[in-house]
Amino acid sequence: MTEKIPQHMHCQICGKAITASDTETMCSDECKKRYQNLTKRRKIWVYIMYALIFVMIAVLFIAPYLKI
């Protein structure tokens, strides 16, 4: 006989099965904290990448005027 699996989702961080809910996407406060730290680090890296791109473009525009 086939056993039905109840509706569920998986935690975005650890992958543990949780009951299907419209509001909860993570299984615990620890996973929520880890997710917040992860998004904070990603945001910092995005800002760093934008800064590097800006610096490279600035160097390309300033380089012709430098007499090296």
Domain residues of the chain, as ranges? 8-65
How sure is the predictor about 64, in pLDDT bands with cuts at 50, 70 and 90? confident
Give dist(CA 43, CA 30) in Å, integer.
20
User: Higher confidence at residue 62 or residue 22?
Assistant: 62
The H-or-E segment that residue 49 falls in is helix 29-62
Q: Is-above-0.85 flag for pTM?
A: no
pLDDT in tens, 5-56: 778 888 889 989 888 876 788 888 999 999 999 999 999 999 999 999 999 9
What span, in angstroms and rounded, lies between the C-alpha atoms of 7 and 18?
Answer: 9
Q: How many other C-beta atoms are found inside a 10 Å radius of the C-beta of residue 26? A: 19
